[in-house]
Chain A
């Protein structure tokens, strides 16, 4: 099967500090990958490199057949195909939830307004906040905001979804409603890369687990094997602390 994301020997520095070291990663369409690791291990930076919110300095990143390089038009095209959900939701506070969802389809994909609104309502229904469509982000709970953010990303009909610790900023009781949406999305066949500490979620949906530490991929394994029989000591230590 062809690969939709390919990273080869990717290196990245913040000034002198190396955050990513020789990262190799391949993702096939419809694969779900969960990345975990201690804070500062470079996992957020890694997925932010995939839609070039961060620039890598060495190596190649190819997303859906397009190499990420200086060419800004390519980058915008890739970004339109790669949805991203942030820890802090990052909804646009000056727009209603519906407008949040229709803005990019109208202005980037050039959908007619009516069509964009239909797509938006379909996705808002999917994350079960269609009744909040005309409210503003500030009027919603954290869980609702994060679901709205997922719907906003889905409205661009992306081929890949990146999740950067989507439940870390939520109250415990709201985590489940967001994870349920993500599970539903995974079952629908979306290609997903998720940075999270929610191991229950990982066990349920992930095809592969990736464990990162100090900018390196320490272990990559099938989910079952990863949890039952981790190879490296560092992974064992991490799992013993988190589970």
Chain B
């Protein structure tokens, strides 16, 4: 029973073109159907026409599955997406789903979307109403910060970017001072500039801060402080002094065991009750401390993983050269351990950035919080989708940039 010969090198010349034609035909059919709403195979009975692309593609893929065909293109194709019948089916499904989902996405994002206008009434199309983002953009970036004072936030961030940018081009020796300035001086200078209250700058209370700039401020401060605290906790947890070890373990396990939302709530609502009358700590600062300590506990465990991965010989070699505890850790152990756990550190810091929206529970509104506020505005009801797609996009860009940076660090 060999009416149809098995595809092989001998019949390559006839089978390959027919197979490729069938596969192309099936993809073309789905494509035209998806983009132009026209059914090439409409003359066939409806059920057959529905499954026809799949059947045609499947037969086509079967015909071109020729081992060692000698044609490079075919070999690569067969090896990667057409190694057996099941994989051929998966390939077809994937291609069809991608093609089918492009037109509605395009429609919603661009073709049917509205970009012009100033109010919800200008959004007449079926797609997204980007007018919403446009009108509220300023609030999404700066929160309730007074318009006239927004130059202060801009200046702070511009200085930051300028310093970071310039530091790439200066010598190693100067770079050290740049880093020291960025870590120890700039954060406080920047905060002073934004909060004001002196140097003739109008005071802006932290409750008015918000939007993306608040996301950045909180993330930057939390990252800056949680890292050294985490390292110290990790060292403490491995200390040979029982008191330090148990305090570290207790601290880490306490903060890791509580949800962030609870921590934030307590920091904002319960904590002030324990303070003596008349003392007041700004809500934003309390929240910052809470997030920092929370993430430091996670950071500590990541760093501990790196410390434990180092061979004992490294500790012994350092000790045998007369190094004390701090020199050993600073010069030998931490540089190696931290490099080992860069992926874990990046993971924790990404989680930190994405945890910032939770500060809405205490009434602070960063980007996602501002969107939540805007979408409940009576004039802009029903804009949740646009808002959260926008927030998702912004967070993705930030986190992807961080992720790429960490991969870069890992390589060097």
Contact = CB atoms under 8 A, between A and B. Distances in A.
A68 interface: no
A84 B320 contact: yes
Nearest to A77: B322
Contacts of A149: 317
B321 to A, nearest CB: 4
A153 B319 CA distance: 12
Nearest to B317: A90
A94 B316 CA distance: 16
A107 interface: yes
A107 to B, nearest CB: 5
Nearest to A51: B320
Contact of B324 (A53, A72, A90): A72
A79 B321 contact: yes
A92 interface: yes
Interface string B319-330: 111111001000
Contacts of A83: 320
B320 A76 contact: no
A53 B320 contact: yes
A91 interface: yes
Contacts of A91: 317
Nearest to A103: B331
Nearest to B335: A94
Contact of B313 (A90, A104, A156): A90
Chain A: interface residue count, which band?
20 to 34
B321 A53 contact: no
A33 B316 CA distance: 22
A91 B314 CA distance: 7
B332 to A, nearest CB: 6
A153 B322 CA distance: 10
B317 A76 contact: no
A59 interface: no
Interface in B227-271: none
Contacts of A80: 321-322
Contacts of B336: 92-94
B258 to A, nearest CB: 36
A152 interface: yes
A153 B317 CA distance: 9
B313 A79 contact: no
B409 to A, nearest CB: 14
Given A94-B336, A103-B331, A76 B313 contact: no
B339 interface: yes
Nearest to A54: B316
A199 interface: no
Interface in B312-363: 313-314, 316-324, 327, 331-332, 335-336, 339
Interface string A59-85: 000000000000010001101111110
B336 to A, nearest CB: 5
Contacts of A76: 322-324
Interface string A133-167: 00000000000000001001100100000000000
A104 B318 CA distance: 8
A108 B314 CA distance: 17
Interface in B283-322: 311, 313-314, 316-322
A86 B316 contact: yes
A88 B327 CA distance: 22
Contact of A86 (B313, B331, B332): B313
10 contacts: A53-B319, A79-B320, A81-B322, A91-B317, A92-B336, A94-B335, A94-B336, A108-B322, A152-B321, A156-B322
Interface of A: 51, 53, 72, 76-77, 79-84, 86, 88-94, 103-104, 107-108, 149, 152-153, 156
Given A51-B320, A92-B332, A107-B327, 20 more contacts: A53-B316, A53-B319, A53-B320, A76-B323, A76-B324, A79-B321, A80-B321, A84-B316, A86-B316, A88-B311, A90-B316, A91-B317, A92-B317, A93-B336, A94-B339, A103-B331, A104-B322, A107-B323, A156-B321, A156-B322
